[in-house]
């Protein structure tokens, strides 16, 4: 494999890519996925649509600014000018971006790409302790930070990144990014980057512990639109798109920036609206497309606000498995057929999905045009229909961790191994079973933790649940459930037995949780995903201590 001549002066990104032999196999199966050697994604995302739709609204907010395409182009160019003329950025330098979903956050992201920089996207809620490993790994020289989220970045500069140049957005002094931008002409020619130059460093959400840094090229940004965007989402210029995910997560970046801008549509940006609150905003702001996680749709249902979605043209779900019950409840209340999909930071966006008449409730979908997917058994062989195994995918994008020995865990035999257990039916549809690390083997039975969680969550007294396998000397593992009850509902032995009986009534009896623990909250990462590994580690440590105590007692008795 050979890369094109780089447009980067600073070669850090390419220097720290994994060796070619550790890359996944890349496939470009449609004409839309073939790109010229020289490509800057920001040109395609803003210069091209601004020339076609200069006065069309590109970004809107509930109570704030509405930027047209021509206004967004000027501000993106101004950011690029600030970076290059004032700060001295050279192509290939990394820029940390830390902001909630605002128009200036979009302009900053586009400006970094236009200037030939590499955008390091970081969720604004992360604290200094969580940001530190990201900064150490990516070594940014600059940080564009919303004025409300500066403190932790300043802490980083004082501890792990003394040379980091921090520019505040929305601050009171003359060094503020917005004030600097106002002094610039707004005319900038994008750096002549290669299509395979790195544009993005995206930290994983850390659901398995220490975040990994995923690298994505300029062509990758266009590829996710030329697959999911063009073939499933099919945005129109009159669409207004809302998404609950932050721009720092690739789900939000695609839904709010990449897909709308390439279609000449409008991204509707909200900084902190919970799904139930967002449902109230949708009709008044003319939103036609909503994207959120299954838990978001469940919250909307629980709040009795499903009717507020009736004006949508499309609803999208990703981030975790969409329970068929939630799909049916939304469909019955609104007539919407939710577009389910699975993606990931390593793959940048969604690669399995279905839309319209191709949707089958309960199935995630099929590989998008340009992708191939299969099920691998325990020996790494492709499995037949109905056999549960590891989901493996390949296509125009793939996992390339930045200088990380875990590259070999995700990419094997040219396939991206997503960490999910799926089955494929006779018609080629893929069905989610469990995260591979959420499969519990008890007395020889394979028990998918999400299946038990779904059963528990159907109980009217359960607000949320998390299920892990607890090591057990007799069964190998026990199903252990951590349960958050709704306000006013008391836990205790009787309630635990009630929940166990409820699960037995809906699932095979061997799947019921033999231990039920009541808790006030469950561990979640910054994107809201449940962190099974936190509680799995807890029960494993408990089991280890119990085993040691039992051995000590045995030894003592034998003396």
Question: In this predicted model, what pLDDT tens digit does every residue of 368-394 receive, in sequence order?
Answer: 999 999 999 988 899 989 999 999 999
Which residue's entry shows tokens 């182009």? 73
- Other CB atoms within 10 A of residue 242 CB: 26
Which is higher by pLDDT, 165 or 208?
165
- The gap between the terminal CA atoms of the chain, to the nearest Å, is 66
Alpha helices in 162-308 (DSSP H): 177-182, 218-224, 250-253, 259-263, 275-281, 294-302
CA distances from 91 to 23, 152, 401, 497, 556 (A): 24, 26, 21, 62, 68
Q: Which two tokens stand for residue 161?
A: 């990144």
Instruction: Say how far apart CA 62 and CA 433 lie, in whole Å.
Output: 38
Are residues 229 and 301 located together in one domain of the fold? yes
Residue 409 pLDDT > 60: yes
Are 453 and 416 in a shared domain?
Answer: no
Task: Identify whether residues 261 and 149 lie together within a single domain.
Answer: yes
pLDDT on residue 242: 98
DSSP tag of 510: G
What's the rounded mean pLDDT across residues 11-34?
A: 96
Residues 61 and 157 in one domain: yes
CATH label of the domain that carries residue 302: 3.40.50.12780
Are 396 and 320 in a shared domain?
yes
Q: Are 406 and 528 members of one domain?
A: no
Residue 126 has pLDDT above 90, yes or no: no
Question: Stretch 120-149: mean pLDDT, rounded?
Answer: 93
Q: Is residue 1 part of a domain?
A: no
Is 27 among the domain residues?
yes
Pairing of strands 314-317, 198-203: unpaired
**What was the pLDDT predicted at 207?**
47
Q: How confident is the model at residue 558 (pLDDT cuts 50, 70, 90)?
A: very low
Nearest partner of 146 among 94, 200, 201, 109, judged by Cα: 109
User: 402 and 527 share a domain?
Assistant: no
- Give pLDDT, residue 557: 54
Q: Do 344 and 480 fall into the same domain?
A: no
Are residue 297 and residue 398 in the same domain, yes or no?
Answer: yes
* Structural domain span for residue 265: 12-424
Residue with tokens 């798109």: 241
Q: Is residue 438 part of a domain?
A: no
Distances (CA, A) of 400 to 21, 109, 110, 166, 231: 11, 21, 22, 28, 25
Q: Say how many C-beta atoms besides its own lie within 10 A of residue 335's C-beta.
A: 10
- Domain for residue 433, yes or no? no
Number of domains in the chain: 2
pLDDT value of position 205: 66
Q: Which of 377, 397, 424 finishes a domain? A: 424
Q: 308 with 453, same domain?
A: no
Asked if residue 417 is part of any domain, the answer here is: yes
Both 481 and 416 in a single domain? Answer: no
Classify residue 144: in a domain, yes or no. Answer: yes
Query: What is the predicted pLDDT for the residue at 359?
Result: 97
Residues 355 and 482 in one domain: no
Residue 47 has pLDDT above 80, yes or no: yes
The answer, yes or no, to whether residue 337 has pLDDT greater than 70, is: yes
Average pLDDT, the chain: 93
Statement: residue 470 has pLDDT above 60:
yes
């Amino acid at each position: 494999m050979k890369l094109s001549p780089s447009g980067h002066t600073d070669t850090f990104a390419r220097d720290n890519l994994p060796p070619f032999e550790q890359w996944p196999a890349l496939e470009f199966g449609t004409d839309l996925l073939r790109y010229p050697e020289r490509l800057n994604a920001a040109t395609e995302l803003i210069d091209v649509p601004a020339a076609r739709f200069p006065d069309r609204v590109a970004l809107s907010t509930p109570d704030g600014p509405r930027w047209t395409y021509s206004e967004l182009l000027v501000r993106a160019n101004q950011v690029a000018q600030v970076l290059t003329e004032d700060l001295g950025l050279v192509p290939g330098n990394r820029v940390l971006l830390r902001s909630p979903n605002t128009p200036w956050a979009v302009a900053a992201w586009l400006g970094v790409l236009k200037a030939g920089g590499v955008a390091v996207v970081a969720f604004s809620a992360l604290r200094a302790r969580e940001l530190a490993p990201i900064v150490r790994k990516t070594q940014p020289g600059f940080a564009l930070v919303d004025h409300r989220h500066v403190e932790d970045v300043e802490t980083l500069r004082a501890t792990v990144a003394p040379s980091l140049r921090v520019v505040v957005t929305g601050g009171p002094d003359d060094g503020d990014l917005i004030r600097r931008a106002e002094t610039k002409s707004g005319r900038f020619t994008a750096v002549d980057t290669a299509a395979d130059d790195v544009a993005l460093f995206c930290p994983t959400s850390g659901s398995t512990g220490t975040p990994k840094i995923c690298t994505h090229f300029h062509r990758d940004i266009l590829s996710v639109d030329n697959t999911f965007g063009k073939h499933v989402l099919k945005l129109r210029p009159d669409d207004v798109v809302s998404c609950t995910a932050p721009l720092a997560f690739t789900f939000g970046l695609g839904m709010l920036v990449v897909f709308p801008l390439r279609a000449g549509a409008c991204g509707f940006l909200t900084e902190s609206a919970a799904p139930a609150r967002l449902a109230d905003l949708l009709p008044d702001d003319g939103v036609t497309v909503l994207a959120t996680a299954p838990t978001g749709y469940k919250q909307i249902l629980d709040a009795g606000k499903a009717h507020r979605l009736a004006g949508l043209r499309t609803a999208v779900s990703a981030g975790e498995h969409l329970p068929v019950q939630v799909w049916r409840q939304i469909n019955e209340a609104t007539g919407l057929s939710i577009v389910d999909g699975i993606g990931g930071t390593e793959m940048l966006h969604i690669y399995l999905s279905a839309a319209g008449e191709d949707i089958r409730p309960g199935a995630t979908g099929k590989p998008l045009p340009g992708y191939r997917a299969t099920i691998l058994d325990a020996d790494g062989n492709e499995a037949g229909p109905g056999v549960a195994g590891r989901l493996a995918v390949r296509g125009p994008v793939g996992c390339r961790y930045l200088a990380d020995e875990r590259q070999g865990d995700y990419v094997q035999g040219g396939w991206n191994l997503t960490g999910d257990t799926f089955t494929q039916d006779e018609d080629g549809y893929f069905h989610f079973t469990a995260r591979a690390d959420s499969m519990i083997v008890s007395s020889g039975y394979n028990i998918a933790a999400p299946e038990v969680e779904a059963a528990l969550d159907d109980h009217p007294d359960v607000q949320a649940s998390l299920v892990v396998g607890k090591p057990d000397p007799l069964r190998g593992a026990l199903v252990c459930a951590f349960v958050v009850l709704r306000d006013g509902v008391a836990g205790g032995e009787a309630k635990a037995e009630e929940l166990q009986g409820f699960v037995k009534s809906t699932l095979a009896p061997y799947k019921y949780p033999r231990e039920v623990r009541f808790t006030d909250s469950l561990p979640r990462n910054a994107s809201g995903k449940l962190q099974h590994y936190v509680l799995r580690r807890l029960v494993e440590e408990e089991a280890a201590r119990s085993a040691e105590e039992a051995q000590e007692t045995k030894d003592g008795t034998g003396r």
